[in-house]
Structures are given as structure tokens and as C-alpha cells.
């Protein structure tokens, strides 16, 4: 039996990892709610690790939010994420946990990184200013893992996902990311028989999206790679691995697919006076492909599954 601690098990990615781990009867999944364990409290985290005989850690816990939240609360975003990472990684080391997987974000890369973004683009340029504190915390998490590996011979790995969506996403009307925001907007437009849905921007920017179940599968895959295979594709100073589909689409294509999935029959218009953001954000996933993993879920299938979940949880999804 393998004792596996999933930090952040109620989040979108953490819950997906738990669902997949629990399919294997040889896994004992260990979780703790925020009221049971304050990950910002170093003493509490150390005591938790000392009490539980943990074999593996999935570090999916993080303080997350959209552009508005990142702009309004930069101190909380950098402090809380740094503390969560440092406490869990150090406690894992102190309690002789040899295997840990840290989940980062594509925002670690420079805002003008060449496309598609390769792992070696890290620390080669200026970060996007709107989420710089969060990005710096995630970069620190990667470097914490690398440092414990170099100094103590640990096997702490990092994966950097592209834009994620799926079950347990945040469908808040103001603070959600693009896919849950669009799904909710088109659903409500359909119910209200709105003749037009207005989308921000020109629709020309290109983005990559990965279903959270694929992300969970990739995380478990990377965690359980034998060390020799993993080290063939990484290095002590460049140990993180991108996770994505390797395929992007225009925002216009995304909006049209959401309209199709939700059954909205009205007109779609784009407000080109609104900002587009970066013209393209695509991950280079060749390293993960060489290791033997590729995403399975198409965008339309993933959107349809996410919309089904949204419909089934309208009474209790996050407001």
C-alpha cells in the first residue's frame, strides 16, 4: 500500500488527481481540509507529516485567481504560495519523503517567450506584470525542488500545465477564467433567449487548453516515471516538464465551440476595442511526448463534459 498525500485535494487539479489515484486499490490517498491543516503554518505541516507515514506528495495546493485578484492582492499571492510550497517541500524532506510532484503554471515563462514555449525559456526575460508575484512564487517552487534534489538526493519533480478547465472549475461570473466564464455566459444567454453574446477582443489571439483529467493523468505519469528515464529528459537545473496538448486555437474558435456545446443559437459578436492580451500562448510539450505521454481529450469533448458537470452542479457550484 502506498500512502499518497494530495495537498489541495478540493481544487480542480487536486480533486482530479484524487479521483484517478483512488482507482488503484494499492493507493491510500491522504487529504486534509483547510480547517484540518493550515498549509501556511509550518509547525502544523511538520506535525501532519510526522503523524502520517507518507510515501508520495502531490503539491497541488495554491492561492489562485484571475487578473483582478492578482492585481488587488499581490502580497497574499506571493506570500501564501511561497509559504505553502516551502512548508510542504521542507516537511517532506524532514520526514524522508523521497517522491514529490510540484504543480506550477505556464505563467512562469517570460511574457515575450518564443512560441511554443520551451522549458529552457524559464528566467530568460520579463514576466507578465499582472501575475508576476504568483509567477515568482511558482518559479521558487521549481527551484526548491531542484535544490533539495541537488543537496539531499531527493526526487522532487515539477510539471507546468497550460490553461486548465474541467470538473470543479470556478464558474464565478467575475473571477473565473475564460472557459468557465464563457460556458456560464452562453448558458445564461440561451436561457434568456439573448439575441447576441458579445465576446471581448478581436477573437484572433491563440490559446491552448487542457482538460483537467488529462492533467491529472500526466501528473501521475510523471510522478511514477523511473528516475533514469526522467533524468534523460531533464537536468538538475532544468527539471520541470511542460504539460499541454501542443495544439492551440483562436479565441474565436473557442467561443464558437462553447456556443455549439451549450446549444446557444443567437449571434456572436466581438468587441475589438477590448484588449486581446498576448497574441499567442502555446506550450512546447515535446519533452513530455518523448517520455511517452500525450493528451487524449479534444477541446470539444472536454467542453461538453465540463458543461455537463456545470449543469449537474448549478445549485452548489462556486458563486
The answer on whether 162 is annotated among ligand-binding residues is yes
- The one catalytic residue in 134, 156, 165, 264 is 134
Of 251, 252, 310, 247, residue with least CA distance to 278: 251
- Evaluate the omega torsion of the peptide bond into residue 257 and state whether it is cis, within 30 degrees of 0: no
Question: What's the rounded Cα separation, in Å, for the pair 98 and 4?
Answer: 12
Question: What's the rounded Cα separation, in Å, for the pair 146 and 223?
Answer: 15
Residue 43 falls in the annotated catalytic set: no
The answer on whether 111 is annotated among ligand-binding residues is no
The answer on whether 68 is annotated among ligand-binding residues is no
- DSSP string computed for 106-129: GGGS-TT--SSBPGGGTTSSPPPG
Of 5, 8, 13, residue with least CA distance to 167: 13
The answer on whether 10 is annotated among ligand-binding residues is yes
The answer on whether 11 is annotated among ligand-binding residues is yes
The answer on whether 201 is annotated among ligand-binding residues is no
The answer on whether 105 is annotated among ligand-binding residues is yes
DSSP 28: E
Chain center to CA of 221: 16
Which residue is associated with the grid cell 502544523? 44
The answer on whether 298 is annotated among ligand-binding residues is no
* Phi, psi values for residue 101, rounded to 5°: -120, 120
Residues for the chain: how many in total? 319
The answer on whether 211 is annotated among ligand-binding residues is no
The answer on whether 13 is annotated among ligand-binding residues is yes
Q: How far is CA 205 from CA 148, 151, 160, 280, 297, in A?
A: 39, 43, 21, 6, 22
The answer on whether 127 is annotated among ligand-binding residues is no
* CB of 116 closer than 8 Å to CB of 246: yes
The answer on whether 26 is annotated among ligand-binding residues is no
* CB of 240 closer than 8 Å to CB of 259: no
The answer on whether 190 is annotated among ligand-binding residues is no
Binding-site positions read 8-14, 103-106, 138, 161-164, 177, 185, 200, 207, 276
Active site residues: 134
Binding-site positions for substrate read 185, 200, 207, 276
Binding-site positions for NADP(+) read 8-14, 103-106, 138, 161-164, 177
Amino acid at each position: 500500500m502506498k500512502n499518497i498525500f494530495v495537498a489541495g485535494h478540493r481544487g480542480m487539479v487536486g480533486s482530479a488527481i484524487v479521483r484517478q489515484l483512488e482507482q488503484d486499490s494499492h493507493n491510500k490517498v491522504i487529504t486534509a481540509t483547510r480547517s484540518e491543516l493550515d498549509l501556511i503554518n509550518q509547525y502544523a505541516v511538520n506535525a501532519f507529516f510526522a503523524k502520517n507515514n507518507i510515501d508520495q506528495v502531490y503539491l497541488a495546493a495554491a492561492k489562485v485567481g484571475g487578473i483582478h485578484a492578482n492585481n488587488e492582492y499581490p502580497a497574499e499571492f506571493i506570500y501564501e504560495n511561497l509559504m505553502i510550497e516551502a512548508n510542504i517541500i521542507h516537511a517532506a524532506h524532514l520526514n524522508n519523503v523521497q517522491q514529490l510532484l510540484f504543480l506550477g503554471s505556464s505563467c512562469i515563462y517570460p511574457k515575450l517567450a518564443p512560441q511554443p514555449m520551451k522549458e529552457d525559456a524559464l528566467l530568460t526575460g520579463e514576466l507578465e506584470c499582472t501575475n508576476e508575484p504568483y509567477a515568482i512564487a511558482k518559479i521558487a517552487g521549481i527551484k526548491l525542488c531542484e535544490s533539495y534534489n541537488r543537496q539531499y538526493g531527493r526526487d522532487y519533480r515539477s510539471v507546468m500545465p497550460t490553461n486548465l478547465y474541467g470538473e470543479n472549475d470556478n464558474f464565478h461570473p467575475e473571477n473565473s477564467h475564460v472557459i468557465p466564464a464563457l460556458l456560464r455566459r452562453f448558458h445564461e444567454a440561451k436561457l434568456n433567449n439573448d439575441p447576441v453574446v458579445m465576446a471581448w477582443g478581436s477573437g484572433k489571439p491563440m490559446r491552448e487548453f487542457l482538460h483537467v483529467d488529462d492533467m491529472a493523468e500526466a501528473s501521475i505519469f510523471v510522478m511514477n516515471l523511473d528516475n533514469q528515464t526522467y533524468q534523460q529528459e531533464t537536468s538538475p537545473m532544468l527539471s520541470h516538464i511542460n504539460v499541454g496538448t501542443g495544439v492551440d486555437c483562436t479565441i474565436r474558435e473557442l467561443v464558437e465551440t462553447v456556443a455549439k456545446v451549450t446549444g446557444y443559437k443567437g449571434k456572436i459578436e466581438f468587441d475589438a476595442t477590448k484588449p486581446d492580451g498576448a497574441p499567442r500562448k502555446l506550450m512546447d510539450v515535446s519533452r513530455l511526448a518523448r517520455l511517452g505521454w500525450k493528451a487524449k481529450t479534444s477541446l470539444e469533448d472536454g467542453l461538453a463534459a465540463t458543461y455537463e458537470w456545470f449543469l449537474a452542479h448549478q445549485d452548489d457550484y462556486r458563486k
